[in-house]
Structure 1
Amino acid sequence: MPAIDTSYLVETPEGIDLQVDVAGPVPRALAYAIDFAIRSGIVLGASLILMFANKIGIGIMLIVSFLLEWFYPVLFEVYRQGQTPGKKALGLVVVNDDLTPIALGTSLVRNLLRSADFLPFAYLFGLISMVLSGNFQRLGDIAAGTLVVYRSVPLSNGGLPPCVPIAPPISLALEDQIAIIDFTQRHQQLTLDRQRELAGILKEITRREADNGVEYLRNVGAWLLGMR
């Protein structure tokens, strides 16, 4: 039986192919379990503190539980680059289906629809949707136009040119990281003119002219690949 193809390919307007691997049900379930344990720990700690506060304590606990259930994932997805603690532990990240960073409205849609994914019990609808969608998207992902993908790119420095790894000058979105890594790994298949063209496209990131940008992009790509 052939292995399931989990790769997802997007071509940017600049003609750069970005490829990632989408996360299946098992790693997503493990990430959810970690986040659930964290939320449960917070609720337990708050209940121990508020257990002697009578009705006021109960009211505060209800508010805390509500906020954790509905806004815990939204907060992390929007302000922590698409990663809750559970997703970060598993190397996963939530992105739009064009691999751009997720926004507040998108995160709200995908998380509010978790109630539909949960039906009729134990996220059965969500699991069925993930199996049938082709890109492991639950109902919330389909409605919001999002994917859960692996953030880390397989480390491979074979065939790379001599590089001096340099950290990127700014915080990079996932699509920019993938583009630079792809540029670095494919340097042998690209003509020098094409490398200069791509370096010019990424000029806003490198802040260098095309000729100098080629070598600089390789160095940043080496850093992103873990050659530090």
Structure 2
Amino acid sequence: MRLDTTYTVNTPEGIALELSPAGPVVRTLAWLVDLSIRAGVSLLIIILLAFMGSLGIGLAMILIFLLEWFYPVWFELRSQGQTPGKRLLNIYVAQLDASPISPAASVVRNLLRVVDFLPFFYGFGLASCLLTKRFQRLGDLAANTVVLHKSLPVLSHREFSASPEPANVALALPEQQALILFAQRQSTLTAERQQELAILTESLVTHKTDPAAHLRNIASWLIGKHE
């Protein structure tokens, strides 16, 4: 059972997504994993360039500087908000509304790590996490971002009738969650309302005679994929 608080975001389709911010402990563990990776790569760079003498050491310092500052930005923008450490701990960084993190937000939140680190070992960052209900450090507050648990609702194929079928486009985590919640609510929506909501997904249901059924098929496939 998580002790982290949750909050709800309403999608344009009228579906409520319940999001679970990641607390300081799991974020610290992810940071330690990433720190270990950066330390290992930095050591390798020094070893490989040491034979060049002072020039090699200078180049190594430049590369280590770039690694330290742009390692998280690179992974957050290319891996759906997850550095290797976050992926291992099954968390990810996103905008406050759960949309994918923007390049500007990623740069801002990571440049402000130097402030979060003060006065010693992320003192300000830890205090900010403990004082904000969504566990946001100062960089997150400035960039309007939040670190979330990457988990999908636990749901069995038996809870709705569908034949698993993959989507024809890549789906972000919030989109996957919305589809599964849509399938969960099958019994609470009229057939007409289901079709209205399904049509709003546009490209997902193009040329489908039964858009709602097709979305339930995708949701069923997603459940099987993540179980």
State the shift of 1:146 in Å.
0.5
**Between 31-40 and 163-172, the greater mean CA deviation after superposition:** 163-172
Name the residue aligned to 1:86.
85
**Kept after mapping to 2: 8 A contact 1:78/1:104:** yes
Instruction: Give the distance between the partners of 1:208 and 1:184, measured in 2 at CA.
Output: 20
Name the residue aligned to 1:217.
215
Matches within 5 A, 1:148-227: 148-157=147-156, 159-209=158-208, 212-226=210-224
State the shift of 1:109 in Å.
0.5
Residue identity in the other structure for 1:108: V
Q: Secondary structure at the match of 1:18?
A: strand
Name the residue aligned to 2:127.
128
Q: Secondary structure at the match of 1:51?
A: helix
State the shift of 1:159 in Å.
4.9
Query: Structure 1, residues 111-144: CA drift from partner, whole Å, max 9, x if none?
Result: 0011111110111111111111100111100110
Name the residue aligned to 2:118.
119
Q: Secondary structure at the match of 2:167?
A: coil
Decide whether aligned partners of structure 1 residues 62 and 114 sit closer, same or farther in structure 2, where only a CA change above 3 A counts: same
Decide whether aligned partners of structure 1 residues 225 and 158 sit closer, same or farther in structure 2, where only a CA change above 3 A counts: closer
Q: Secondary structure at the match of 1:226?
A: helix
Instruction: Give the distance between the partners of 1:70 and 1:185, measured in 2 at CA.
Output: 42
TM-score, scaled to structure 2: 0.93
TM-score, scaled to structure 1: 0.92
Name the residue aligned to 1:52.
51
| Equivalences, count | 225
List gaps (5 residues or longer) in structure 2. none
Decide whether aligned partners of structure 1 residues 161 and 14 sit closer, same or farther in structure 2, where only a CA change above 3 A counts: closer
Name the residue aligned to 1:141.
140
State the shift of 1:203 in Å.
2.1
State the shift of 1:13 in Å.
2.8
Q: Secondary structure at the match of 1:172?
A: coil
Q: Secondary structure at the match of 1:136?
A: coil
Query: Structure 1, residues 135-170: CA drift from partner, whole Å, max 9, x if none?
Result: 011110011000111122143216522322222211
Instruction: Give the distance between the partners of 2:221 and 2:155, measured in 1 at CA.
Output: 12
Instruction: Give the distance between the partners of 1:90 and 1:4, measured in 2 at CA.
Output: 16
Identity %: 46
**Kept after mapping to 1: 8 A contact 2:153/2:177:** no
**Kept after mapping to 1: 8 A contact 2:4/2:23:** no
List gaps (5 residues or longer) in structure 1. none
Residue identity in the other structure for 2:212: V
**Between 113-122 and 215-224, the greater mean CA deviation after superposition:** 215-224
**Kept after mapping to 2: 8 A contact 1:18/1:179:** yes
**Kept after mapping to 2: 8 A contact 1:203/1:213:** no
Name the residue aligned to 2:8.
9
How large is the RMSD of aligned CA atoms in angstroms?
1.7
**Between 55-64 and 136-145, the greater mean CA deviation after superposition:** 55-64
